[in-house]
């Protein structure tokens, strides 16, 4: 059988054009077969990817920034309690309250310090005023605990054992280091001894 088939094909003589046509047909079959193979592979990969992929949960609404609650008091246009984004500074709280009144001195406030939740900013705290004879007027009467973070020179000097020098050191310390995180941090101010701190500890607040 094989011998007969071989003798049959040996007796066939192809012209140049026929051989070229056979090669073209063979190339077309090979190209179509290769294309179908890769298309089948791509479809299988897409199905596998669809089966194994996990949907990503996206936030359903806008992200709400973390807020701080700050009390702005004193000589501002609209004193009150304000909500500010975390990372806000003292100047932002004052602006939220309508800014300071004209002529108010804010040099005793570190306008750049970072706010913390529950903080109170007092703008324009009264100071000692020198008389014509060079003496100082009496400090204002205390109506409650003095804020070591926002109290002015006069407020701090109203505390027993705190004179002008120590009050100035407290203000300088908080301007350089930011607000006091705890009352005991006050003992880090130069010259603040244990006895003085013990005497004023019940008369101060953050």
| Domain ranges (residues) in the chain | 64-124, 126-206
- Grade residue 111 by pLDDT with cuts at 50, 70 and 90: confident
Q: Is the pLDDT of residue 98 over 90?
A: yes
With beta carbons less than 8 A apart as the criterion, state whether 93 and 83 touch. Answer: no
Segment among 36-45, 77-86, 106-115 with least mean pLDDT: 36-45
Spatial CA neighbour of 202 closest among 151, 160, 169, 172: 160
Mean pLDDT of 49-75: 73
Domain 64-124: CATH class, spelled out? alpha beta
* CATH topology identical between 64-124 and 126-206: no
Which range is least confidently modeled, 54-58, 64-68, 89-93, 148-152?
54-58
CATH code for the domain defined by 126-206: 1.10.150.320
Structure tokens at 137: 């007027």
Q: Is the pLDDT of residue 43 over 70?
A: no
Q: Please provide the average confidence, as pLDDT, over all residues in the chain.
A: 78
Q: Six-digit token pair at 83?
A: 């909500």
Q: Can you give the pLDDT at residue 85?
A: 93
């Amino acid at each position: 059988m094989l011998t007969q088939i071989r003798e049959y094909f040996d007796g066939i003589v192809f012209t140049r054009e026929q051989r070229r046509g056979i090669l073209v047909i063979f190339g077309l079959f090979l190209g179509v077969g290769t294309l179908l193979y890769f298309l089948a592979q791509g479809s299988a990969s897409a199905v596998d990817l669809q089966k194994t992929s996990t949907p990503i949960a996206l936030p359903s609404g806008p992200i709400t920034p973390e807020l701080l609650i700050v009390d702005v008091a004193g000589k501002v246009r609209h004193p009150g309690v304000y909500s500010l984004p975390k990372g806000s500074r003292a100047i932002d709280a004052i602006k939220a309250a309508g800014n300071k009144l004209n002529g108010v001195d804010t040099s005793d406030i570190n306008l750049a310090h970072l706010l913390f939740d529950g903080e109170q900013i007092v703008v324009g705290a009264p100071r000692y005023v020198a008389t014509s004879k060079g003496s100082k007027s009496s400090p204002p009467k205390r109506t409650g605990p003095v804020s070591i973070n926002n109290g002015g020179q006069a407020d701090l000097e109203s505390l027993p054992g705190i004179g002008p020098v120590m009050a100035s050191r407290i203000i300088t310390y908080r301007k350089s280091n930011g607000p006091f995180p705890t009352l005991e941090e006050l003992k880090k101010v130069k010259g603040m001894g244990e006895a003085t701190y013990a005497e004023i500890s019940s008369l101060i607040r953050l």
